[in-house]
Chain A
Amino acid sequence: MSLKNILENFSYYRRDAEAGGHHEYEHRFAMAIDLDICTGCNACSTACYAENNLPVVGKERFEAGQAMHWLRVERYWDEIEGDYPEQGAKMIPMMCQQCGAATCEPVCPVAATYHTPDGLNAQVYNRCIGSRYCSNNCPFRVRYFNFWSYYEDSWPEPLRMQLNPDLSVRDKGVMEKCTFCIQRIRNAKDKSQREERPLVDGDIITACAQACPTDAIVFGDTMDPESRVSKAWAKHQIHRGPVTAKKQKADEEIRGYRVFDELNVDPSVMYLERVRDTEV
């Protein structure tokens, strides 16, 4: 019985606030995205649509702000003087940052969004009742809600054949967001288990990272010190956990930052600043 479970394991459930999240992580998946080599081609976004059964909502609903792009390439402009104002364009691929202290989690009334031992912020579609509080409390605004039932419109026969069988198609009234391609993580874990070997760097590659023509997106496990992403994080002096002090950028080479780090949500995605040579 569940009540018995709570009483018996009370010390486990009664975690102090500082511990937060999970005590025992098995992995902590993370990303490093180099904005300097990102060309804003949107290949990652397209790959995500294909991989995760994301509906194409059509022009009208896109304009109404009801698009379902788990990964959106945001474009910002710097005002730049000179002959080439296009130089001022800045692209940033924005997906769920799989925050270590995710603000979306505590507010869900039915605990449909929770933290996995992999360091992921998981969304249980079947549990979601669509209160949308999680999305309101996500500073990155990367949660997408099924405002309509898209199944009929987005995949008319025979397009249904293209759906990825590894995950469901969500119906109206359910929240969804980037999962770090959890089905790929699952498959890779199963495979490594079958082969009786530990998971190694490169076993998992997310659809967006795979599609990126310039290899701007690096995915991996920060608990594995040998992984590419760990090395990148270490090189750019980004650490897990809350921000304690303002980072000093002694070196031009150190370009790493996490979006909204000052909110202490501990995002799992590190971005590398774009280097702009205005002299050219």
Chain B
Amino acid sequence: MSQVIQDKVIDEKLEWSRINADVIASMQSPRRAYWVALAVCIAMLFCAVAAEIYQYKYGMGSAGLNNPHMWDMYIATFVFWIGMSHAGTLLSAILHIIHAQWRKPIYRFAEAMTTFSLMTAGIFPMIHLGRVWNLYWVLPYVSDRGIWPNFRSPLVWDAFAISTYLSSSALFLFIGMIPDMAILRDHTTGWRKKFYGILCLGWRGDDRQWRNFRRTYMLLACFLIPLAISVHSIVSSDFAMSIMPGWHITTFPPYFVAGALYSGCAAIMTLFVALRYFFRMEEYMTLNIMEKTCKLTFAIAMVWTYLNLIEFAATWYGHNIYDKELLIDKATGPYAAVFWTMIFCGMVVPFTLCFQKLRRHMPSMLVVSILLNLGMYVERWMIVAPTLAMSHQPHQWDVLWGTVIQWAIVFGSFGWFGLLFLIFVKLFPCVSMYEVKELCFHLKHEIEEEEHEKQHAAKAKAGATAGGGASPAGNPGLEGA
């Protein structure tokens, strides 16, 4: 069987009107599981809001924080969500630039994931502030008292980096959707028609518009890649710029970026399985695409593992007594169970992605991807908590597992993210229609070309053997079916 046909990520014979109809139908009548998920998310969010109101009223002590543990799960969760946001950029911008066609049916929801996980991440530095009502002091607004934020502080860099990344990725998401908005405008009725009519910004699909669109899209993609990398490097400098053992590590920026891509890819796998089921997208989110995502995830997982091992080795052989002691404590001390969970989920579980049987089995991929994300979550926690628990000053050593309030807010953040995401996929097409059409179009041509060549070769062969029985060339059209 030819390579093109075997690797083909979508059935190239999908008609364009079918694509439109399928995607629009998905936005109108999802399976019941969608509504269940929506209800669960709202309930989770409700827990978090209640907890946050309590914490706002009575103070940060209600989260159980204490003297050595000034930061805890809030910051770990913040890093986790920031990390999630990197996969969208990877799929839509990096793979766009290197012309990986298979990204096309799935990049839209990955990009939405970027925007929403950033919106979730951005909440955490806010709610963890002692006096959140003075939040705007972090921004460099001109005040007549001549007071500026402290530009040396990584937290100020965070504020800049995250707001830049959030606005650019939201813009990127929106621009990529314009042609689809126009399709929706033409195919829907009622309020939806008005809504998409405004959002498509007068798209008519003429030549000039397409050319400008492509240029803008490429430009934004190029802008977004360095931005994504810098954002997580800056988040890592929250830790790397301090002098605490286990934080003051020079490999942190690449390590964080790799971790971010890793957890992001795992999240894409989870959402892939979920959306495929909720919206009956089996024809668009095909198993071949899943396979490719899995392979990508595996490669990134190995990079992350490597960087992690380097970090351990550097700590072990560098003779910094505080760092070394902390590393030993992580592996054997009170946090040992969490530490080994991280090692297992982050470094061992990805090897399941090596098996094709598993890669094509959706339920097990759901479990694996959730395990991977669990590993990445506790990884972030293992960066934040043990350093605080066992830093320089032994008198202040303490282990913290958080209180109900803290857990509720962390838990609720998943609800908040899920809610935003589920609303998004109901309002906007989670599969990019025009790019899927493009993909089908290219694929058709490629296959035709291949068939052509084959027939050509067969003919030449037949000519050479000069009527030697039946033609050895099968019918490639049958194999593709």
Instruction: Report which B residues bind A (CB closer than 8 A).
Output: 58-62, 64-71, 125, 128-132, 134-135, 137-138, 142-143, 145-150, 152-156, 159, 238, 241-244, 388, 391-396, 398
Contacts and interface: CB of A to CB of B under 8 A. Distances in A.
Interface string A110-152: 1100000000000000011111110111011100111111000
Nearest to B157: A109
A140 B131 contact: no
B131 A64 contact: no
A119 to B, nearest CB: 20
A14 to B, nearest CB: 13
Given A2-B145, A76-B395, 5 more contacts: A136-B244, A137-B244, A139-B391, A141-B393, A173-B60
A107 interface: yes
Contacts of A7: none
B150 to A, nearest CB: 4
A128 B130 contact: yes
Interface in A19-50: none
B59 A110 contact: no
Among B61, B62, B142, which residue has the most Cβ atoms of chain A within 10 A?
B61
A3 interface: yes
Interface in A63-79: 64-67, 72, 74, 76
23 contacts: A2-B143, A2-B148, A65-B67, A67-B67, A74-B395, A94-B395, A110-B137, A110-B138, A110-B150, A129-B129, A129-B134, A129-B137, A132-B128, A133-B70, A133-B154, A133-B238, A137-B242, A137-B243, A141-B67, A141-B396, A145-B60, A172-B130, A260-B392
Contacts of A145: 60, 65, 67, 70, 130
Interface residues of A, number: 46
Contact of B392 (A5, A67, A139): A139
Nearest to A175: B130
B57 to A, nearest CB: 9
A228 to B, nearest CB: 28
A108 interface: yes
B60 A147 contact: yes
A147 B66 contact: yes
A144 B67 contact: yes
A150 to B, nearest CB: 9
A241 interface: no
Among B129, B132, B147, B150, which residue has the most Cβ atoms of chain A within 10 A?
B150
Interface in A52-69: 61, 64-67
A234 interface: no
Contacts of B148: 2, 111
A94 B145 CA distance: 36
Contacts of A144: 67
Contacts of A87: none
A136 B68 CA distance: 7
A263 interface: yes
Contacts of A280: none
A167 B44 CA distance: 44
Contact of A139 (B67, B129, B243): B243
A247 to B, nearest CB: 18
Contacts of A140: 392-393
A181 B475 CA distance: 91
Among A72, A127, A141, A260, which residue has the most Cβ atoms of chain B within 10 A?
A141
Interface of A: 1-3, 5, 61, 64-67, 72, 74, 76, 94, 103, 106-111, 127-133, 135-137, 139-141, 144-149, 172-175, 260, 263, 265
Given A136-B244, A141-B396, A61 B70 contact: no
A72 B395 CA distance: 10
Contact of B155 (A107, A128, A141, A173): A107
Contacts of B154: 107, 133
Given A129-B131, A141-B391, A66 B67 contact: yes
A66 B143 contact: no
Given A129-B131, A130-B129, A141-B391, A66 B153 contact: no
Q: List the 5 shortest-distance A-B pairs measured between CB atoms, nearest first.
A: A130-B130, A173-B130, A65-B66, A147-B61, A2-B146
A265 B155 CA distance: 21
A107 B65 CA distance: 20
B59 A173 contact: yes
Nearest to A69: B67
A258 to B, nearest CB: 13
B150 A111 contact: yes
A174 B130 contact: yes
A64 to B, nearest CB: 6
B150 A103 contact: no
A111 B147 CA distance: 9
Given A2-B142, A109-B159, A132 B149 contact: no
A67 B61 CA distance: 11
A55 B442 CA distance: 72
Contacts of A129: 129-132, 134-135, 137-138
A36 to B, nearest CB: 20
B242 A103 contact: yes
Contacts of B132: 129-130
Among A61, A146, A265, which residue has the most Cβ atoms of chain B within 10 A?
A146
A149 B58 contact: yes
A251 B48 CA distance: 62
A5 B135 CA distance: 25
Contacts of A141: 67-68, 391-393, 395-396
A273 to B, nearest CB: 17
A73 to B, nearest CB: 10
B156 A132 contact: no
Contacts of B156: 109
A146 B130 contact: yes
Contact of B393 (A106, A132, A139, A173): A139
Contact of A65 (B62, B135, B241, B398): B398
Nearest to B134: A129
